[in-house]
Structure 1
């Protein structure tokens, strides 16, 4: 199954399966601007310390551990002469 076909829960379980986490805390991160994509922070307590992962929701609706690419946009405005 491709990563883009997995739910957020399945991705979290995949990434934390090998880490041996004793407990997990999940937080939805507030967006600094309206309309920005969602970001979830996952903190897993392990014997060696805390493991923190961020999952980002992309335009296609799938979750990934890398942020979506922000492409520059050009805007045309009319200026008064």
Structure 2
């Protein structure tokens, strides 16, 4: 089981306290992956150029990888009830 991860915890994990003063967070929507919504976290510094994309998962956690796309499923109980 994965530990729940807030966006703040994700930022704290990947950026040092001195870098966090130079971070800009912007929201994005990525239609290619089924309408995934997330944020881009950019380090705005003269010496570093880092950009990470965090994706919001269905359980409320924020991860660096997108949530799995939901796939069509077949429910046999619907067939048995007919």
Bucket of the pairwise TM-score, normalised by the shorter protein: 0.5 to 0.7
Q: 2 CA distance for matches of 1:60 and 1:68?
A: 10
Correspondence for 1:79: none
Larger helix fraction of residues: 2
Query: TM-score, normalised to structure 1's length?
Result: 0.65
Runs of 4 or more, structure 1, over 4 Å off, are none
**Structure 1 Cα separation of the partners of residues 4 and 29 of structure 2:** 25
**Alignment partner, residue 72 of structure 1:** 71
**In the superposition, relative to structure 1, how do residues 3 and 52 fare at CA in structure 2: closer, same or farther (>3 Å)?**
farther
SS of 1:5's equivalent in the other structure is coil
Matched residues, number: 72
CA separation in 1, counterparts of 2:62 and 2:25?
A: 14
Distance 1:7 1:63 in 2: 6
Q: TM-score, normalised by structure 2?
A: 0.64
Task: Note the residue ranges of structure 2 that are not aligned, 5 or more in a row.
Answer: 75-82
Q: Aligned-residue CA RMSD in angstroms?
A: 3.0
